[in-house]
Structure 1
Amino acid sequence: MASTTARIAIDAMGGDHAPDEIVAGAIRAQAELGVEVLLVGDPQAIESSLKQHTSSSQMEIVPAEDVVAMHEEPLVSLKRKPKASINVAMDLVKQKRADAVVSAGHSGAAMAAGLLRLGRLKGIDRPAIGAVFPTLVAGKPVIVLDVGANVDSRPKYLEQFAVMGSVYSQYVLGMEQPKVGLLNIGEESTKGNDLAVRTHQLLEENPRITFIGNAEGRDVLSGRFDVIVCDGFVGNVLLKFAEAVGEIVLQILREELPQGIQGQLGTALLKPNLKRIKQRIDHAEHGGGLLLGVAGVCIISHGSSQAPSIFNAIRLAKEAIDNQVLARIQSKDFQGEQQSAASTTEE
């Protein structure tokens, strides 16, 4: 069966640097990744951004009349603005005119639009945002979920996050038998709050995953785990903290290495190494998080995303499409085991 070119709908109006940086990242992605890009938003503003580039003649623009601003309440705004760029982008996926959505706009609006426009996958109670972090083991990333979709969670939600994260880790990140951990304050199964204790039992009993126990904060980036689950409140704090640490490390390197002639010579010699360091710890290199659990591929990028981050977000979307993440999550075996586990829990 011949492969088809992935079509990615980009919310060109979402984010602090829209539309210029969004358009720049999309142009690069279309040229280097072989994807087809649909730029959704104000045609005049998008065309103005496109004119800054010479290789943009094949970019398709899909008009949208409005945008959900960062300060607006998601559900109210989505209903009040049915032609907002994020709504139009989600509709393109629903209508099969696009295979994925990428947005650096209001993350709450992107999640709500995904749920309202696309719906949940069968057998999934709540979607989760999965973020990929580097670890101490080169070439062995860890996916953490949820990092913001659900401030409050139930044990069965975290169990579903573990299964979805395992599918992503195996088929996109290349981990043959992903090791799952539950973020907690101690290694013992009795540690933590009620949510942690009850979730630990569910994860232990689930045959669909390889659960190896609790993960403490120091374990997240150790490389011991491939998938770590937590509720969205804790996960979002962890995400923002990790991003800040990465930025601080990069800033320290910029400030300290060039000191004096010897420092400048050392910096020149270390340039390839520094580039690899940046690729491993800079959150812009990862593009954003995949909204797992909705019936469409959705990448939620940082509001401050610039062109490199948008490029990487589109790359994430393409990888999810190419590796059939949605089909694998909603496969019959997955649903059967999930429903069985849920029934056992409720009993």
Structure 2
Amino acid sequence: MKIAIDAMGGDDAPVAIVEGVKKFLSEDHETKIRLFGPSEALAKLIETSEQLEIINTTQVVEGNDEPVAAIRKKKDSSLVRAAQDVKDKQSDGFLSCGNTGAVLAAGIFVIGRIKNVERPALMPTLPTKVKGVYYNMLDVGANAESKAKYLVQFAQMGSIYAEDLRGVKNPVVKLLNIGSEEHKGDELHQTVHQELSQLPEINFQGNIEPNEIMAAKADVIVTDGFTGNAVLKTMEGTMKTVLHLLKDSLMTGNITTKLGALLVKNDLGNLASQFDNSRFGGAVLLGVNAPVIKGHGNSQAQTVYYAIKQVKEMISEQTVTKFRNLYQ
């Protein structure tokens, strides 16, 4: 088993990427890592071995690069070379914490879409208000516009992933909508609801409203990419704002408030950790011919470590093969 990793993707690359690789290799003595980036710089951070190979590249896809243009013009970038490695069957899966659009473009145009999959979808694993309970939401940005058949396939692939990678038996699938009734929403959502209701292979249980997506009522939430991306960014922004306001209120109050802050410090830490989904690695690009994981741009070593494990588990479970068999 081999995993191709873009060493230069992310805010703290290559250090965070390399540290994540080191942690992974300290525990896994079978999986081989093919690390793409400037060999001289990487050699100063990590030693090659039977498990680790450094492949020299001369270009980097920057965060502000136009995705498709970067894929076409930066052929010797660490991101493109790692994706091409999977395309050439030198590696079995691909991980990058770099430019989201470029990772999606590499997954679709370099590695390639599974035959009969209409559109790939980007899917993270997200926390709920119930400790230890998570859900998957897709699409969160791979497609700005969607058709009913796209969302139906998202539900099918998301359900397989939740069972394979998260161990959820018969995962509950719901459709993000403006109301719980089946007639709610526009024509697209009404059509998707009707079609999902007729699929025996998934456990579809109707609509879910935005205010309930963190209530642990669904294992897989299906939506179009535009809405999913907006919802995800709203959630991230709201969480950061609430934690900032809470901290500011506790630390700028009177002596009683500050003493109270000390008393609840551990509880606040536990609350923050409850909503930390770093152990699930990154978002998956479902619907392409190999496991493709997009790590968050600010990923640190621990998140990279879990993302590598995520790629390995998808390879081991043959999740992509199950998608492929579904649409033959």
TM-score (norm 2): 0.89
By how many angstroms is 1:264 displaced?
A: 3.6
- Residues 238-317 of structure 1 correspond to what in structure 2 (within 5 A)? 238-248=231-241, 251=244, 256=250, 260=258, 263-264=261-262, 267=265, 270=266, 276-317=270-311
- The answer (yes or no) to whether the contact 2:10–2:298 under 8 Å persists in 1 is yes
Residue 38 of structure 2 corresponds to 42
Q: Aligned match of 2:152 in 153, 159, 173? A: 159
| In 2: Cα distance, 1:96 partner to 1:200 partner | 38
| In 2: Cα distance, 1:84 partner to 1:36 partner | 21
Matching of residue 14 in structure 1 with residue 9 in structure 2: yes
1:260-311 Cα deviation digits (max 9, x unpaired): 56654653xx3xx666544431243432201100001010111222222212
Question: Matched residue of 2:24: which SS?
Answer: helix
- The answer (yes or no) to whether the contact 1:14–1:104 under 8 Å persists in 2 is yes
Q: Aligned match of 1:208 in 201, 210, 213? A: 201
Greater CA deviation, 247-256 or 212-221? 247-256
CA gap of 1:63–1:138, structure 2 versus 1, over 3 A, is same
| In 1: Cα distance, 2:315 partner to 2:270 partner | 27
By how many angstroms is 1:57 displaced?
A: 4.6
1:214-246 Cα deviation digits (max 9, x unpaired): 110122111111111111111111222222344
Residue 190 of structure 1 corresponds to 183
Residue 86 of structure 1 corresponds to 79
1:72-99 Cα deviation digits (max 9, x unpaired): 2111221112222111101221222222
Question: Percent identity over the alignment?
Answer: 38
Question: Matched residue of 1:330: which SS?
Answer: helix
Matching of residue 227 in structure 1 with residue 220 in structure 2: yes
| In 2: Cα distance, 1:11 partner to 1:154 partner | 32
Where do 5+ consecutive residues of structure 2 fail to align?
none
Matching of residue 330 in structure 1 with residue 324 in structure 2: yes
By how many angstroms is 1:185 displaced?
A: 0.5
The CA RMSD over aligned residues, in Å, is: 2.2
- Residues 43-58 of structure 1 correspond to what in structure 2 (within 5 A)? 43-50=39-46, 56-58=47-49
Where do 5+ consecutive residues of structure 1 fail to align?
1-5, 51-55, 337-347
Greater CA deviation, 246-255 or 291-300? 246-255
Question: Matched residue of 1:144: which SS?
Answer: strand
| In 2: Cα distance, 1:14 partner to 1:212 partner | 38
Question: Matched residue of 1:228: which SS?
Answer: strand
Question: Matched residue of 1:49: which SS?
Answer: coil
* Number of positions where the alignment pairs a residue of Structure 1 with one of Structure 2: 320
By how many angstroms is 1:206 displaced?
A: 1.7
| In 2: Cα distance, 1:155 partner to 1:38 partner | 38
